[in-house]
Amino acid sequence: MFRGAMGMRRREFLVAAGLVACARPAPRAPRAVRIEDVLQSALDAAKRAGATYADARVVRRRDQGVATREDHVVDVHDDESYGIGVRVLVVDASQSWGFSATANVDEASAARAARRAVDIARADAGPRKRPIVLAEMGVHRDKWATPMEIDPFDVPIAEKAALLRDVWREAQRVKGVKYMDGDARAVDERKTFASSEGALIEQRVVRVAGGYAVTATDDAGDFVSRAHELPPMQAGWEHVARSSLVKDARKIAEDAAEKLAAPTVETRKRDLILAPSNLWLVIHESIGHSTELDRALGYEANFAGTSFATAAIASGKIGTLEYARDNVTVFADKTTPGGLATCGYDDDGEKTQKWNLIEKGKLVSFQTTRDQAAWIGEKRSRGCSYAEDFSSVPFQRMPNVSLAPSERDASIEDMIAATDDGVLIFGDGSWSIDHQRYNFQFGGQMFYEIKSGKISRALRDVAYQSNTIEFWHACDMIGSAKHFELHGSLVDGKGEPPQSNAVSHGCSPARFRNVNVLSTKR
């Protein structure tokens, strides 16, 4: 990590931004571009054209991956986009936002994009029902980068492919396991942000993922798949290289064979014990998305939907809405080490932070950006603005949202021992939730029946369905900090045009009483 570079030399700044010399050898060095000048050109042009506020982002995004099928490589890709996006706020007779982006990172193109953004804002000018108020914010000039040991883009593609082929060598030894899809991926996001208020922030975020799913089949034409649970992480290649992907290959394959032969679950209510590799996705869907302020106030109504938590704002109940049982505390945190949404500053230039969304069962806050804080009477943004790439308009995206561990020392084994009739679930499977975040249904990877405090057998075709408020009130056991794990996804969609956000969710295992468990076998 490198910080506190207010007085950085220009050359150092340009190289760190990846804009003068590529990390990879190139036939000829690209023509030097002064990124500060390009950004300043955009900001100046916006101001001259009449913008009250402007910000600009030069973003280079690189996505490299390898995919395998059984013992051979089927895809190797290395895609890159680069450009500048300019956002302006125009306050004439009314207020309006405008945005324009170009792949040409030079002063003239940046100025053109800025003027175009002002034109677009003016085309949208008209009476406003809700005034645009930008929250107070410090002006930061800084650098931030993912701490890592091994830059994944320095690792030969053959080494990544070899790891996945080692997995198949082990997995194929298990009878009935016939297929495997594997992949390894690295995403590099380099962003330099400047605003008309004087901010200048350079960040590099690197995310990696590695995984595979094996498929077991039988002579009767039946088949099931089982995926490894290694989560994607903001980290270097060491996260994948030192993982148990290869070591677990035989076990994952054996799981697939066991699941194929397992009985289907009986549809009825029972207790659920969810491992972190399953529970993270429930947190994401039923708490993460519900507490996005723009969603709660109708700004996602046409696509991602709204939120039942709107009621807490409309009736002034923030702090009183009983979202969960009083043992449940959920926090948002864009500073979690390794978290996929972690960074130093958001896309408004606000410093990232940690805060509670649910405290002892009560909803106490929302996720906000700079222009949303005033909507709920807050003076500062929670720092949740994000734009996926240079051509994306920044808007509110989910920070890492995690379930606080219990202070009592509880493990999965303790939960099993305390359960008479339940199902234990590992890994994420199918997921779906309604557009106001009430009714959800999830699957998983491996399912075990619990009878009288012990695992009795594996099950298959399992899904569970509940209502967010009922489910979180049914949570009666949460594991302690030593069982806390961070899981997440590189892709979470929201917005129009749709943008993808990477986000992590941490939790310990937890137990939920009397939940609808259903069979997906027809």
Partner 1 sequence: MSARGFEIADRLLAQAAKMGAEARVVVREHAMGHVRFAASELTTAGDFDTTTASIAIAFGNKHASAETNQTTDDALAALAARTATLARAAPEDPEYLAPLGPTRYPRNARAWDEASAALDPTARARAAREAIALADSRAIVIAGFVQSHRTETTIATSAGLRADHRATWSQMTATARTADGTGSGWSGANATSASEIRGAEIARDACDRAERSRAPRKIDPGRYTVVLEPSCVASLLAHYVEAADARAADQGRSYFSSHRVGDAIFDPRVVLRSDPLDPETPGCPFDDEGVALDPTTWIESGAPKNLYSSRFWARKSGRNATGSRSTWHLSSTSAAPDANALVAQIKRGLVVTRFWYVRWLDPKQILLTGLTRDGVFLIEDGKVTHAVNNFRFNDSPLKMFQRLVGMTQQTWRTPAEDTIYRAPIVACDDFEMSSGSDAI
Strands 141-145 and 200-217: parallel
CB of 29 to partner 1, least distance (A): 8
* Buried residues in 167-194 as b, exposed as e (16+ CB within 10 A): bbebbbebebbebbbbbbbbbbbbbbbb
**By the rule CB under 8 A, 166 interacts with partner 1:** no
The interface mask with partner 1, positions 338-377, x = CB under 8 A, is: ----------------------------------------
Q: Using CB under 8 A, count the residues that bind partner 1.
A: 93
Backbone φ and ψ of 198, nearest 5°: 105, 5
Chain length of the chain: 522
- Interface residues for partner 1 in 269-328 (CB under 8 A)? 297-303, 305-306, 308, 310
CB of 389 to partner 1, least distance (A): 10
Nearer to partner 1, 78 or 326 (CB): 78
CB of 57 to partner 1, least distance (A): 13
**By the rule CB under 8 A, 99 interacts with partner 1:** yes
**By the rule CB under 8 A, 178 interacts with partner 1:** yes
Question: Of the listed pieces 144-152, 156-164, 244-252, 448-456, which binds partner 1 according to CB under 8 A?
Answer: 156-164
Would you give the end-to-end CA distance of the chain in angstroms?
53
Whole-angstrom distance, CA of residue 332 vs CA of residue 365: 10
Whole-angstrom distance, CA of residue 252 vs CA of residue 249: 5
- DSSP-assigned letters across all residues of 363-395: E---B--TTTGGGGT-SS--S-EE-SSTTSPPE
**By the rule CB under 8 A, 83 interacts with partner 1:** yes
Question: Of the listed pieces 96-104, 275-283, 377-385, 397-405, which binds partner 1 according to CB under 8 A?
Answer: 96-104
The DSSP element (H or E) to which 162 belongs, if any, is helix 157-171
Per DSSP, 244 falls in state: S
Whole-angstrom distance, CA of residue 486 vs CA of residue 504: 6
Taking a C-beta distance cutoff of 8 angstroms, is the pair 206, 148 a contact?
yes
- Interface residues for partner 1 in 400-439 (CB under 8 A)? 430-439
- Interface residues for partner 1 in 483-522 (CB under 8 A)? 496-498, 516, 518, 520-522
- Selected from 327, 411, 441, 480, the binder of partner 1 by CB under 8 A is 441
**By the rule CB under 8 A, 175 interacts with partner 1:** no
- Interface residues for partner 1 in 109-148 (CB under 8 A)? 116-117, 119-121, 123-124, 126, 128-130
Nearer to partner 1, 40 or 102 (CB): 102
